[in-house]
Amino acid sequence: MKGKVGSIDGAIRTVLGLLIILVGHHLRSWWGLVGLVPLLSAMCGFCPLYWILRLDTRTREELEPDDAAHPHRPIAHH
């Protein structure tokens, strides 16, 4: 699977995931496990919802060399 989560997006997901887990732990609620979803997607660099919607939050510098011909990204002509 190719990554679709950029570094800023990954950082936000990490913080939110940890925050949800901590609040769930503090409240002694199983709902804290919901925080694993953004945390794991940040760690993997892949979001299934982004894949379905064909979204990509990576910057140009974060793209892999074979992503230049990605069908959902316009090819820059120089």
Other residues' Cβ atoms within 10 Å of the Cβ of residue 33: 12
Query: Which residue, chain included where needed, has tokens 């919901």?
Result: 34
Q: In the chain, how many domains are there?
A: 1
Residue type, 47: C
Note the pLDDT of residue 60: 81
In tens, the pLDDT along 4-59 reads 899 999 999 999 999 999 999 999 999 999 999 999 999 999 998 888 888 888 88
Helices 7-26 and 36-44 cross at an angle (nearest 10°) of 150
Does residue 74 belong to any structural domain of this protein? no
Does residue 2 belong to any structural domain of this protein? no
pLDDT at 74 over 90: no
**Residue count (the chain):** 78
Does residue 27 belong to any structural domain of this protein? yes
Does residue 22 belong to any structural domain of this protein? yes
Does residue 78 belong to any structural domain of this protein? no
Does residue 76 belong to any structural domain of this protein? no
Distance of CA 19 to the CA centre of its chain: 16
pLDDT band at 66 (very low <50, low <70, confident <90, very high): low
Does residue 11 belong to any structural domain of this protein? yes
